[in-house]
A and B are shown apart, each in its own frame.
Chain A
Amino acid sequence: MSPLGVPAGSGYPAGAPIQASAGIGLRFPHHAAMLAERPPVAWLEVHAENYMGGGAALAYLTAIRQHYPLSLHAVGLSLGSADGLDRRHLERLATLVDRIEPGLVSEHLAWSITGGHYVADLLPLPLTEEALDVVCRNVDVMQTRLGRTILVENPSTCLRFRHSTIPEWEFLTAVAARTGCGLLCDVNNIAVSAANHGFDPLQYLHGLPPACVGEIHVAGHSVHTLPGGRTIRIDDHGSRVSDAVWGLLAAATARFGAVPTLVEWDNDIPPLPVLLAEADAAQQVLDRATGVRHALAA
């Protein structure tokens, strides 16, 4: 038995694929409840960086892994760094992947490391040919070290660069085509960026290649009024999913089919039942999409 009372060898097979159902992002406040109550949720996703040490956090994750399929979502590899990847950080991730054997591993189209310093945010990239080469090189390094394909998530952004030349959906499509990685379509991020930059979120969705989309994220975001009266949206993952984002999820599942779909909630984390209710709502959207496709097939 492990220290947390989980029989060794039970539970989900190592690396089992994650089914096309709704899951939740697991954060520390819900560790104990997930183990004690084992609520019915199809899968869980955690931020890899929260489990790179040992001790209680990793012990919990290892125990929870016995009962739920897990996805590792990394936030600190900095796939867009011109300096290349932090090899020590990649080794930490590889160690965790070996231990947890997750069904999915994902990262972001963003950067956070330059000159040896970690800038603790997912910063936007200029969408240029140079940045495309850098991202593809870094994704190659990451996939080669992990010995598996990863999913790359579309970011939400509050700014764009004057010298960008490639629409973001084309950039992601090119990364997938050149590296063989999959895409994580965060429809909340699309909604946020579309509102911030004034583009049509459906155009973005329709620009992504369906065969490459291996996961979807939904989350809440906030709207801030800046001095001068303009509003800006921030994907703070601190509230319920908005109606507009549920609508985008429906459009995404109609286009991509049902794929593993995650409810993220990172700030003002609610009681577990609230999170599970959001996952139920996401599942209903997936079920409707599946129903539509079945109807079309018939």
Chain B
Amino acid sequence: MNALAPSGRSLAPFEARLSGVHDVERKSAAGDLARTGLPGPRVEAWHYTNLRALSGHVFAESDVLFDEKEARAVLASVIPEGSIFEKLPRLVLVNGRIAPGLSSSTASLPEGVSWSSFASAPDFGTQTSPQRDPLVALNTALASDGMQLSVATGVKAGQVLLVSLALSSSGVVSFHPRHNVALAPEASLTLIEISAGNDGQELYFHNPVLTCSLAEGAHLEHVKLQQEAGNAIHLATVYADIAGHATYESFTLTLGSALARHEVHASLAGAHAAVHVNGAQLLGNTQVGDITSVITHSAPDCISRQTVRNVLTDRSRAVFQGKVLVERVAQKTDGYQMNQALLLSPTAEIDAKPELEIYADDVRCSHGATVGALDEEQLFYLRSRGIAGAQARQMLVEAFLIEATDLVRDEVARTLLDGALADALLNRITAEERGS
């Protein structure tokens, strides 16, 4: 595992575990990794997000046993007891492994919806590209568990929760869950994915891969709330294959972790398919939050939409990389991409790269980006009506972010995000006041 591409980072943090890999698929992924190493800043896709935080540690496998009380407390912090979210069918993973005791029973799933554990029958699928994406290769080599969910033809499955909790382990750990969601023709589902961690534990690295396949006319709304512990590293990769007339709508809200990346590879494979890759990030301290997407139009008459909003305080940094690739056959493509950032501190930073790669002539594609501070005139308007400075700022920030979460169509999911956002804003404002 020592042969590294010149731009690669050493695999030392994972070396011990990679050497124990034997399956064909895992071995080939480990081989890919050995060739490239972990991506360094010279790799274009990782130009703005540096993985040096991974070096300097040796990531062990997480403990199998966990403290149930601690688990319930962390769970309650994201799904308050007695809330509507508590009644939804849910699958809970603790440190990368399914925890049946915290999850709903299979019987509670709606008709036509079924799930199984990745551990019981590992299926890596064919959607991912470990040769190109080193973190996916790492996941492939080390994935131990995850959710495999399927929805039968025509079934409107409603909401399903996928919760990933990180609890105190005896050391620095990493887990690499592998999830798969398959929607049969005309099926629909809202997948609410929550990642949460227990603050005050040692650093951990959560590296999930989710593959989604949508058959003709299917509709998947994927809403993600990322609220990992403050020192965590969260690097998630999502692949979505979208057939004709199907829609994949996603929204990711980044609040937690020290270093986060949400990377989406969406492929519009059939005519009249649609994809929405939206998101919002509220970052403070020295957090780095990265939303990266590659949307490939491989069929005519498809629509892609992307709106990402960032609010940055302290020394935080947001990264947005959005690529829309329109292949020659994808005539009549309609693509739109918007990235906006509010910088609330003189030391915050935003790096954006909205990219269009277009090979078809009859298309309508546009992107826009704006970066700036809060509008003084808006602040003045509020203050002239007697609203205090801090509160006025909070109102404007909240309005800015809620305009983004408004894009979430599923009301239950939207309520969850808005609640988490309000809490986070409140914490941040109180922190700011305490600091001043």
A and B interact physically: no
Q: Tell me the A residues contacting B by CB distance below 8 Å.
A: none
